[in-house]
Amino acid sequence: MNEMDEDLEIKKEYIQLIVDGKRLDGRGFEELRPIKIEAGVLKRADGSCYLEMGRNKVVAAVYGPREVHPRHMQEPSKAVVRYRYNMAPFSVEERKRPGPDRRSVEISKVSREAYEPVIMKELFPRSGIDIFVEVLQADAGTRTACLNAATVALVDAGIPMRGLITSVAVAKVDGVLVLDPMKEEDNHGEADVPFAFVIRNGRIESIALVQMDGKMTVEEMKKATEMAKKGAMEIYALQREAIMKKYAAVEIEEE
């Protein structure tokens, strides 16, 4: 390794993340962080959701279908979907500079792409569906928390969808796979893989997003996918519960 490579190498501080077969917060390997979901929290949005996933706190707001501005962005035969992920300056340990950065632009793009095939855009030509997600407090997995919140906000807004998106990450820490990593596991682990799934008629139909940061064997990746699927089904049940709570008397369309 030459001098420049050495400079570029990011040396991660080693922290033992699995102690006596438990994670630092006491969770089992396949255990999610506590999740709290509330639909319809914002008066001015067409649909909204507040969601906590461990120490992550996020809000999603959906507007639309509505007229698209600027007008040249309209599509004659379908709706335009926009997704904006934003992290509040006070959401992280070291104050984040306000406004978009490369990371938030990338997260917004992949999140929008996860929803594109699910939202029935063809029903709303020339209109726009805007999804805003704001991270108020971050503790790793904010993109997954935001996707879960956005799904509930979209349902709350009455946007017709072919399925629901549910998202969770799997990490590799101290050589083992763990579900829904928190900040320490994300920072000091060997790999972090956020997944998003399309759930239709109560079953996982397809994968809408996978991102890989780090290294895993092919076998580990297969196991990670299975772990994420199980976790996603648990989250899906909570998303449904939050929606049902708001519309106690209304049956969910997909059922």
Rule CB under 6 A: is residue 183 a binding residue for ligand UDP?
yes
Of the candidate residues 52, 186, 190, 220, the single one contacting ligand UDP (CB under 6 A):
186
Q: Which is nearer to ligand UDP, 159 or 171 (CB)?
A: 171
Rule CB under 6 A: is residue 92 a binding residue for ligand UDP?
yes
Quick check: 149 and 132 in contact, CB under 8 A? no
User: Which span sits near ligand UDP by CB under 6 A: 3-11, 31-39, 43-51, 92-100?
Assistant: 92-100
What is the Cα–Cα distance from 161 to 15, expressed in whole angstroms?
43
- Tell the residue number behind the tokens 């320490």, with chain if given: 184
State in angstroms the smallest separation of the CB of 140 from ligand UDP: 4
What is the Cα–Cα distance from 184 to 194, expressed in whole angstroms?
16
What's the token pair of residue 226?
A: 């299975």
* Near ligand UDP in 99-128, by CB under 6 A: 103
Tell me phi and psi for residue 226, to 5 degrees: -65, -40
Nearest to 57 by CA among 143, 150, 169, 137: 137
State in angstroms the smallest separation of the CB of 33 from ligand UDP: 12
Rule CB under 6 A: is residue 185 a binding residue for ligand UDP?
no
Rule CB under 6 A: is residue 96 a binding residue for ligand UDP?
yes
Measured CA distances, 55 to 17, 25, 67, 111, 242 (Å): 18, 12, 36, 21, 19
Site for ligand UDP, rule CB under 6 A: 92-93, 96, 103, 138-143, 183, 186
